Structure 1
Amino acid sequence: MTVPLVTILDDEPAIRTMLADALTEAGFRTMAFGRATEFEAALRQANPDVCLVDLSLPDRDGLTLVHRLALEQGATVIIISGRAQVQDRVTGLELGADDYIIKPFDPAEVVARIRARLRRGTPAPQTGEVARFNGWTAHFDRYVLEDESGAETPFSHAEGEVLRLFLERPKRLISRHAMQEALGGAAGESFDRAMDVRISRLRTKLREDPKNPRLIKTIYGAGYIFLGDVGWG
């Protein structure tokens, strides 16, 4: 079994060392970087399972980097930041981050969050990496949606988590609480808003009519239901 690789991007050497030590002791492989340019260069050779990203970087806007990682890299992206405002957390999640940890933190909490994310990212036994529904094909191994003509539209890891949840439970009501339980993260305004944004983006990519979506229906006060016919494999 391959040991998961966690990359750490933070400009504070003490934090990089603390995280690397905790993760190594927990059985992960690690690579640590102080600048975004070094981190991005390493990604040309490495395929991390989890990226820990600080938002306050000396050479790059952290939020922009998070958004690109979520769309292109396919790794789980966890923000670690001193920015504690609700809006900062919401923005990070909206841009595709999978989790948001506020400094100062306990390294054991980071390890636990990473393990939980990796468990949630493991496909359920009855499903695979390709799902077909209503003229669409979702490639979870490449993070793209393919239409009937073969045109492809990328989706982020975070959007993929929501899409997989719908495709694994077609024609069943999924409550907000059930989504929070399945996808993780603290319940509350930031989680709800992040889910609204991810579902809105999925609808756009599936070319849904925002006023009358055919596939992802909102059941006001209850949750969501996916009405497509789904086949895996």
Structure 2
Amino acid sequence: MSQPFVTILDDEPQIRAMLSDALTEAGFRTASFARATEFEAALAHATPDVCLVDLGLPDRDGLALVHRLALESGAAIIIISGRAQVQDRVTGLELGADDYIIKPFDPTEVVARIRARLRVSRPKGNDHQTARFNGWTAHFDRYILEDDTGEETAFSHAEGEVLRMFLEAPKRLISRQQMQENLGGAAGESFDRAMDVRISRLRTKLREDPKNPRLIKTIYGAGYIFLGNVSWG
């Protein structure tokens, strides 16, 4: 297996150097960028496994960039920011980030968080990249949902993690605690709200009636259950 590739986008050279050194020592390949324009240009030629993104960028709104990455890239997205307010963390997760690390930080914590994200992205026991259910096909290698007419709808890496979790455990109750354990991240209001947003977006992409969804059911006070018939291959 090739070394995972991590991109670092931060306008502070000391931060870039510290993260690059720690990640290289931990066995990752890295590329560092000071500006969003350079980073976006590089994405046209390489696909990272994980993107570390600072929100305070000189040439682009960091949250807008995170949102675009979540919709268009297959990478896990980890925000690294000096913004410590709960609302900033909630907004970052709602826009599609997978994790949020507050500056100042220990680089070993960043390495551990990246490894945790990659473990989630490559679940044990099921390396299939295609699942079929109720007239839909989920292509996890391309982050695409395809309906029975061939029409395609993109989903984000974060939405894909939630969808895969449901598809690997159909017709079984998944509690909030199980979701937190499976997907990583700190339990609490920001995690719960991020999950609600991701599930809402998945329901929209699956053309569910929000008042009476057929596939992803909310069991109030207990969690969620996926009612589809799933086949992998």
> Could you tell me the TM-score, scaled by structure 1's length?
0.99
Q: Using the TM superposition, give the Cα deviation of residue 70 of structure 1 relative to its aligned residue in structure 2, in angstroms.
A: 1.1
CA distance in 1, matches of 2:159, 2:137: 15
Report the secondary structure of 2:39's partner residue.
helix
Aligned to 2:77: 77
Aligned to 1:63: 63
Contact kept in structure 2, 1:127 and 1:232, CA below 8 Å? no
Report the secondary structure of 2:46's partner residue.
coil
Aligned to 1:133: 133
Measured at CA, do residues 127 and 231 of structure 1 come closer, stay the same or move farther in structure 2, by a change above 3 Å?
A: farther
Task: Give the partner amino acid of 2:145.
Answer: L
Q: Using the TM superposition, give the Cα deviation of residue 57 of structure 1 relative to its aligned residue in structure 2, in angstroms.
A: 0.2
Using the aligned pairs only, state the percent identity. Answer: 83
Which residues in structure 2 correspond to 1:184-195 (within 5 Å)? 184-195=184-195
**1:181 and 2:186 equivalent?**
no
Task: Give the partner amino acid of 2:15.
Answer: I
CA distance in 1, matches of 2:219, 2:210: 14
Q: Using the TM superposition, give the Cα deviation of residue 123 of structure 1 relative to its aligned residue in structure 2, in angstroms.
A: 3.3
Q: Using the TM superposition, give the Cα deviation of residue 52 of structure 1 relative to its aligned residue in structure 2, in angstroms.
A: 0.2
Measured at CA, do residues 126 and 27 of structure 1 come closer, stay the same or move farther in structure 2, by a change above 3 Å?
A: closer
Task: Give the partner amino acid of 1:4.
Answer: P
Deviation readout 1:22-72 (Å, 9 max, x if unpaired): 001111111000000000111111111110000010000111111111111
Structure 1: stretches of 5+ with no match in the other structure: none
> Could you tell me the TM-score, scaled by structure 2's length?
0.99
Q: Using the TM superposition, give the Cα deviation of residue 201 of structure 1 relative to its aligned residue in structure 2, in angstroms.
A: 0.4
Q: Using the TM superposition, give the Cα deviation of residue 125 of structure 1 relative to its aligned residue in structure 2, in angstroms.
A: 2.1
Report the secondary structure of 2:137's partner residue.
strand
Which residues in structure 2 correspond to 1:67-216 (within 5 Å)? 67-216=67-216
Deviation readout 1:165-199 (Å, 9 max, x if unpaired): 00000000000000000000000000000000000
Structure 2: stretches of 5+ with no match in the other structure: none
Task: Give the partner amino acid of 1:140.
Answer: F
Aligned to 1:6: 6
Task: Give the partner amino acid of 1:45.
Answer: H
Equivalenced residue count is 233
Task: Give the partner amino acid of 1:60.
Answer: R
CA RMSD of aligned residues (A): 0.7
Deviation readout 1:99-135 (Å, 9 max, x if unpaired): 0000010000000000111111103323510000000
CA distance in 2, matches of 1:167, 1:220: 20
CA distance in 2, matches of 1:127, 1:146: 20
Report the secondary structure of 1:213's partner residue.
coil
Q: Using the TM superposition, give the Cα deviation of residue 14 of structure 1 relative to its aligned residue in structure 2, in angstroms.
A: 0.5
Deviation readout 1:137-187 (Å, 9 max, x if unpaired): 000000010001100010000000000000000000000000000000000
CA distance in 1, matches of 2:108, 2:123: 25
Contact kept in structure 2, 1:80 and 1:103, CA below 8 Å? yes
CA distance in 2, matches of 1:210, 1:169: 22
